Amino acid sequence: MSRIFKAVFAEIPMWVEFIISRFPGRTGWVLRRAIFRKKVQQSGKNISIGIGVEILGGNNICTGNNISIMKYTSLYAQGGAIIKMGNNISINSNTCIGADGGEIIIGNNVIIAQNVVLRAADHEFKSVKIPIKEQGHIGGKIIIGDDCWIGANAVITRNVSIGSHSIIAAGAVVTKNVEPFSIVAGVPAKLLRKRE
């Protein structure tokens, strides 16, 4: 068997997964859920996976029950990273949850709007003699407590903890810990008020 044929044959599972990830209707939903459960370390009940969801490092991903992940969302947990999700979580379209050598923990009853970025690692940049892209990553940790709402286009950086019952406004860039029952907004995010 030629090397080219072997390479093509090895890619068949990727092509099948790609086609299923874009398959429409109820059949696509059932097939995507089956692939998700096979790909991740642990998956709870009542999982809904949208079209085009990308998963890397699935053996480092654990989810609870009642999880909705909408179209074109990415979950990255390769390189020893960890992603853990509780129960009753809704993740809207085009969200990127990238642990990349770090850890992301999402509590129960969390709403994550579209285009949100959770990034638990930064690029290393100590040396000016080596291109940044060749210096690797520095892993960290993101914790999102229970009953939080992360607004559209928000960014949460590494080593940040979002306290339970908090709201992160649309477009906020969160670089520091957020206390429970807080509403934060802005770049960088600052406290607007406490929830009563």
pLDDT digits (tens, 9 = 90+) for 146-159: 999 999 999 999 99
Find the catalytic residue in 6, 22, 38, 123: 123
- For 30, the token pair is 């059932």
How many domains does the chain divide into?
Answer: 1
* Confidence (pLDDT) at 1: 57
Expressed as residue numbers, the domain containing 28 is 3-194
3-state secondary structure of 47: strand
State the Cα angle at 95 between 35 and 182, rounded to 5°: 125
Mean pLDDT, rounded, of the chain: 91
State the Cα angle at 93 between 87 and 99, rounded to 5°: 65
What distance, in Å, lies between the first and last C-alpha atoms of the chain? 69
Of 3-17, 65-79, 157-171, the range with the lowest mean pLDDT is 3-17
Confidence class for position 184, pLDDT limits 50, 70, 90: very high
Task: Please state the pTM of the whole predicted model.
Answer: 0.87
Identify whether the C-beta of residue 73 lies closer than 8 Å to the C-beta of residue 90.
no
CATH code of the domain containing 86: 2.160.10.10
Confidence class for position 126, pLDDT limits 50, 70, 90: confident
**Residue located via tokens 């079209």:** 51
* 6 against 76, higher pLDDT: 76
Residue 63: CB atoms within 10 Å? 23
Using the Cα atoms of residue 23, residue 25, residue 30 and residue 36 in order, give the sign of their dihedral. positive
Residue 54: CB atoms within 10 Å? 13
* Confidence (pLDDT) at 163: 97
Q: Is 165 a catalytic residue?
A: no
